[in-house]
Amino acid sequence: MVSVAFLAAAIALPLWKSPQRAVYYGPASPYAPDGTTLSGYYIPTVDNGSTVRVSVDNFRPGSLDISIFPSGAGGIAPTGTPVYTKTPLINSTASFTAAATQPYGIYVISRNFTRYTLIIEATYSPNFWVASYTPIAIAAVLGSAILLYYYSFTSKRWVLEQRAIRDARGGDDGR
């Protein structure tokens, strides 16, 4: 029963989408010797036609390069042309409409040890990571079914063995 609930959750939860807001403080990776870093961020699958807003605040003007692009599920490697590229000079917010139902990635290049605040607002599933457990849930359901079959088979066999032992002793003698 638990494995069936696990499977239902692994299938249903990633489909439930709601407005989400994520705040990141960057850079996410350690500084390189020259003071420039490349940090990557992941926006889970958003529906076609939904709006995604990306804001960048609290940085040194002209020291960040931002690129937003379609990516593959679970990764931030680009799979298409960027939908937004800019070197902001002031605190700014970029909005774009998703051209397809897909995840997006963001690269932020930070120069001269520049720190920043990145805010991502989009409608996606807060449980997008649960989808990766679907194969495990299917294996758990199949394993539970096999164990249930084995248990029912062995319990019936045990009852028959007990009946045969009782009959071999000469029937029901009250013991």
Range in 40-49, 68-77, 86-95, 133-142 with the lowest mean pLDDT:
133-142
162 pLDDT more than 60: yes
Q: What is the pLDDT at residue 135?
A: 84
pLDDT above 90: residue 130: no
Banded model confidence at residue 82, pLDDT cuts 50, 70, 90:
very high
Which residues pair with residue 46 across a beta bridge? 102
Q: What percent of the chain has pLDDT over 90?
A: 44
Beta-carbon contacts of 119 under 8 Å, excluding residues fewer than 6 positions away, are 21, 22, 23, 24, 53, 54, 55, 56, 57
CATH of domain 17-124: 2.60.120.380
Q: Which residues contact 71 (CB under 8 A, 6 or more apart)?
A: 42, 77, 78, 79, 102, 103, 104, 105
Local confidence band at 160 (pLDDT 50, 70, 90 cut-offs): very high
Q: What's the whole-model pTM score?
A: 0.71
